[in-house]
Amino acid sequence: MSGGQGERIGERERFDVWAAGTAYERYMGRWSRTVAERFVTWLGCAEGLRWLDVGCGTGALTATVAARCGPAALLGVDRSAGFAASARGRCAAAHTPGTPSARFAVADARALPVPDASCDVVVSGLVLNFLPEPGAALAEAVRAVRPGGTVAAYVWDYAEGMHLLRHFWDAAVALDPAAAALHEGRRFPLCGQDPLRELWKDAGLVDVAVGEIEVDTVFPGFAELWEPFLSGQGPAPGYVAALAPSARDRLRTALGRAVPARPDGSIALTARAWAVRGRRPPVATAGVRLRQELP
């Protein structure tokens, strides 16, 4: 992984693979559902609102909004057709008759398929740092939300609070210094309190608040912790997939020594996410139709 900056960036992008919902579920999906539940509680939005979930992935946040927030309309978008299909299946299985069904579209966060000011709440879960232009995506979310509406997101705290990945990358870098270019704690400086607050303020949002969400990530044993890293989904599993078998075995051994195991062999870690919310400033809207139908 030596070479110029352009080559290193290309390597990082090559490992950022998110396409298969089942593989993601084994890797991060089980924890993301708990974070989604705490996130919508923290938002405290009223029922009967129009929601847009940007980068919906396998539908953890979309399904939580559908179950807990009583939305009048709910649209999830993701640029991965595989993830959008997984999200559609998850929400269809959990749908309550007599309530609006969640709908899904394949689209880029920088070109949302909704009219201006057509949503009451625009949210995004665990995806903002993977977008090539977070500021442009946020500007598009602001365009989609009505004046006075909410724009909110949450991301993993890769640098300090995501203990599973900290152990993984520390072990990887100790064996392969070139892996430092892929370390998510170093790659994603956006994933912290101050950078998120500044990003929201720079987008013109007001009443900006940042909150901490921490969840337990407990594994029955090391095999259950290691197996998701073989999925190929995401930067760390992508890195593992690119290793020669002997290097992969060395990394497995090093990680097994690094994580704290209980006497029964189980491994108890924690994962922290940072959540941010803000409102689009209200404006005079006489004669302007703001609540258009979502497509």
List, for residues 96-125, the tens digit of each pLDDT value.
Answer: 888 788 999 999 999 999 999 999 999 999
- The alpha-carbon radius of gyration of the chain (Å, integer) is 20
- Provide, rounded to the nearest whole percent, the portion of the chain with pLDDT above 70: 86
Give the list of residues 6+ apart from residue 291 with CB closer than 8 angstroms, or none. 50, 117, 118, 146
Q: Please state whether beta strands 73-78 and 50-54 pair in parallel, antiparallel, or not at all (unpaired).
A: parallel
CB-based burial of residue 230 (10 Å sphere; 0-12 exposed, 13-18 middle, 19+ buried)? middle
pLDDT value at residue 27: 66
Report the distance separating Cα 258 and Cα 154, nearest Å. 28
Report the distance separating Cα 120 and Cα 228, nearest Å. 36
Residue 9 clears pLDDT 80, i.e. is over it = no
- In the structure, what pLDDT confidence band is assigned to residue 8 with cuts at 50, 70 and 90? very low
pLDDT value at residue 90: 87
Report the distance separating Cα 38 and Cα 42, nearest Å. 6
- In the structure, what pLDDT confidence band is assigned to residue 210 with cuts at 50, 70 and 90? very high
